A and B are shown apart, each in its own frame.
Chain A
């Protein structure tokens, strides 16, 4: 399937999802749906680095929050439409990803993972101490009620997130089938051998961190408008880091389909569990599923299905 065809099909699916959601005509569908879509973007972004090159990023929350806080900053600075803010958030997070990668990726893989974990703590410390963006008290963003052409503002946010989903899936799938994707796969399978055969591993890893970080920042940029009141503890919530790892791990890390499946399943499950049980219990479920899947089904749902089909073919 050509990339252009893929993009057209995903736009069609996205449009169908949007109009189906409008048919239900209930704001809750948009609120819950927005969260699930946001997780699709985060999981796909995480997988570009984690799944394709095998480098684990524990700092998804940091990149996400970076996008969200760049929106808060520029919103106070000068009123801009959200798509512009999304681009700005993406650029800032991408640059931070590049810097982080440059400092740590030349060393053993574990250092990068540890540094990303620490990054979240440090950025949070900076935000808590930075009064201009609200500090530890948090920042309010007044969301308009309506917007021209579409109607309720939450539907506009939902539509933006749908567009981000299409973009991130197209990017992930495009990488997978390009020379870049093969380069990433050689790093994942045997970095030393790849380096020895002339694959520019450091440059490829930096490209992966930058793209991955930028997409996470873009997912975070509309968040202040969604939540209305942004607090450091909500923007840096551990649930973003855990979910963006758990979703690809549960879905399957080797292709773009895995994070999509994982995010839809886990995201929906969490929306249901939050309403019916409690938000702490639903996070426990995510943690247990993550540990269970990495031990029992290392290739996720996609791997299970592939194994099952291979078994039937025999």
Chain B
């Protein structure tokens, strides 16, 4: 297991080394705007600032998609699913396989795969409930269980696909819309829009359907739910299954934004929980705001200090939030 690249930072570094000539085209697709091929900053300017802000907002939209599931499982259900990023990477690889074989658009694939991930999530919850939650052992053994799942998924993906970076083909990877000095790379814009659509759908579901309201209720009072003749375990299973289903979409968006290899998921553990805590546990609008904030901070960090520092930002945000406002921005 040696020589494991450190995710995006390494990918960027790799893409920035100019001598990979055949990769130049690829590099142009994935590098942030304002970064030259050899990694040098193309001058400091007002444009750079605006573009860093736009890149941050677009990135934040994508982070929202990655975090919405955790917001449901950790924020509402109190299940610390640290394997969430592993399911996202799984989603990325499924999008990759189908995209390469059949040429279908990755987002379409991810929507088609939603039922599969839903069933997977329901299955994982069933095991979790039977083995840990019912016995009251979720804190130590439940956490280890999810950690084991995270690890197993990563190792299996390495065994099957190796540690090479994989990417998908779609018409919106590459072109950039320009308005005045503002750049909107479509490979960032499309995931951001898709993420906001996902957020809208989830928020409507939670607010206006019976099951959606029951999911919010299960966090507050299981006994009351039982008195209404609703099985809280069934509601929790549905909620957890939905949280895993979102990883299908998040995975597809991830592989649109950046090339993916199995260990990339680990970088997202800090991020998703930082966003979740920053936004306030269990609040979906809070999650979107937190995600945008983190996206903007990270974008500024990588524009002005270099992309290799970006992974540290999430942790700083997480620690500061925990130290000063543990309830988050929109906490309940």
Contacts and interface: CB of A to CB of B under 8 A. Distances in A.
If over half of B's interface residues share one DSSP class (helix, strand or loop), that class is named, otherwise mixed; here it is: helix
A238 B151 CA distance: 8
B6 A128 contact: yes
A122 B320 CA distance: 14
Contacts of B266: 121, 238
B240 interface: no
A31 to B, nearest CB: 16
A100 to B, nearest CB: 9
B319 interface: yes
Contacts of B13: 136
B181 to A, nearest CB: 30
A232 interface: yes
A114 B144 contact: no
A214 to B, nearest CB: 21
Contacts of A114: 80, 82, 269-270, 273, 318
Contact of A242 (B5, B151, B308): B151
A118 B314 contact: yes
Contacts of A136: 6, 10, 13
A288 B152 contact: yes
Q: Chain B, interface size: which category?
A: 35 or more
Interface string A271-298: 0000000011101101110110011001
Q: Is the interface of A mostly helix, strand, loop or mixed?
A: helix
B273 A118 contact: yes
A306 interface: no
A117 interface: yes
Nearest to B149: A291
B154 interface: yes
A284 B13 CA distance: 29
Contact of A117 (B74, B140, B269, B322): B269
B75 to A, nearest CB: 11
Interface string B177-194: 000000000000000000
Contact of B144 (A111, A124, A245, A288): A245
Interface stretch (A5-13, A50-58, A195-203): A50-58
Q: Which of B6, B13, B127, B326 has the most CB of A within 10 A?
A: B6
A268 interface: no
Contacts of A294: 131-132, 141, 144-145, 148
Contacts, number: 149
A3 interface: no
B40 interface: no
Contacts of A28: none
Interface in B1-38: 1-6, 9-10, 13
Contact of A124 (B6, B80, B131, B326): B6
Contact of B141 (A58, A124, A298): A298
B152 A245 contact: no
Given A128-B308, A238-B266, A239-B1, A233 B6 contact: yes
B223 interface: no
Given A233-B6, A234-B2, A291-B152, A117 B159 contact: no
A103 B269 contact: no
Contacts of B147: 56, 58, 241-242, 245, 290
B233 interface: no
B144 A279 contact: no
A104 B319 CA distance: 8
Interface in B300-328: 306, 308-309, 311-312, 314-316, 318-319, 322-323, 326
Interface of B: 1-6, 9-10, 13, 74, 80, 82, 127, 131-132, 135, 137, 139-141, 143-145, 147-149, 151-152, 154-156, 158-159, 263, 266-267, 269-270, 273-274, 277, 306, 308-309, 311-312, 314-316, 318-319, 322-323, 326
29 contacts: A56-B147, A103-B319, A103-B323, A104-B322, A107-B322, A111-B277, A113-B82, A117-B273, A118-B270, A118-B273, A121-B314, A122-B312, A124-B311, A125-B9, A125-B312, A128-B308, A136-B6, A231-B2, A234-B2, A249-B141, A280-B158, A283-B1, A284-B155, A284-B159, A287-B155, A288-B148, A290-B147, A291-B152, A295-B131
Interface of A: 50, 54, 56, 58, 103-104, 107, 109-111, 113-115, 117-119, 121-122, 124-126, 128-129, 136, 231-234, 237-239, 241-242, 245-246, 249, 253, 279-281, 283-284, 286-288, 290-291, 294-295, 298
For the complex of A and B, 4 pairs with smallest distance between CB atoms: A118-B270, A291-B148, A287-B152, A122-B315
